[in-house]
Amino acid sequence: AICHLNYGISGSSSGEMISEQNLKDIDEGLEYSRLLLQCHPKAYVFRMQLMQALRVKGAALAKLDRTAESTEVINESNQVLQELMKDNPKQPWVLSMRAMQNSMELVERIRKGELGDFEKELIQLQEASNPANQANILYNAVCAYSQAIPHASEKKEDYLTKIKELLGRLQKQGAL
């Protein structure tokens, strides 16, 4: 099971073209993960494995322009994460993971032109992040602002100023 899951994951995340075989391997690994969870429904490690595999499958489907399926799979992954957070509310890694995923999903939305109130969301993500992932959240904020420029050219100078500010913060943290 793990071999199929890992093979599918490595094949779909290596930057190479995604194949239907990668998806089949991931699906087979997911099936085994779900079987393990039937025996041990609260096992933290199995739920984390399922969540990560679902994220990889969602990313693979997105690369194949299968957006609706990708969204459905990512939503399932988010549901697993929500359950983990509910059962482990003080687990820093779970909280950190959620903030990171939200920031990456925000960048993807902005890339598609769905800006919404992204600046407010970025502030909330920065406030919710812990010191271990602060630099990653700031880096994703830089990406978000840079992706927003083509969709809001009237704010280009403001966004460039914000990018410079964030990059300065990252440099001060030693993250650049």
Residue 73 contacts by C-beta under 8 Å, 6 or more apart in sequence?
Answer: 54, 57, 58, 61
DSSP assignment of 112-165 equals: TT--TTHHHHHHHHHHH--TTTHHHHHHHHHHHHHHHGGG-GGGHHHHHHHHHH
Query: Out of 47-51, 155-159, 167-171, which region has the weakest mean confidence (pLDDT)?
Result: 47-51
- Within 13 A of 122's CA, how many CA atoms are on the CB side? 24
The answer to whether the pTM exceeds 0.75 is: no
Q: Does the structure show a pLDDT above 90 at 162?
A: yes
Q: Which two tokens stand for residue 69?
A: 């399926």
Cα–Cα distance for residue pair 138/142, rounded to 1 Å = 6
Cα–Cα distance for residue pair 103/138, rounded to 1 Å = 9
Helix %, strand %, coil % of the chain (to 5) = 80, 0, 20
116 Ramachandran zone, left/alpha/beta (phi>0; psi -120 to 50): left
Element (H, E) at 170: helix 156-172
pLDDT value, residue 6: 47
Q: Which has the higher per-residue pLDDT, 94 or 174?
A: 174
Q: Would you tell me how many other CB atoms lie within 10 Å of the CB of residue 49?
A: 21
> pLDDT, tens digit, for every residue of 70-123?
889 988 988 888 888 788 877 777 767 777 778 888 898 898 888 989 999 898
Q: Which two tokens stand for residue 20?
A: 């239907």
Nearest residue to 73 via CA among 96, 94, 50: 50
pLDDT value, residue 16: 59
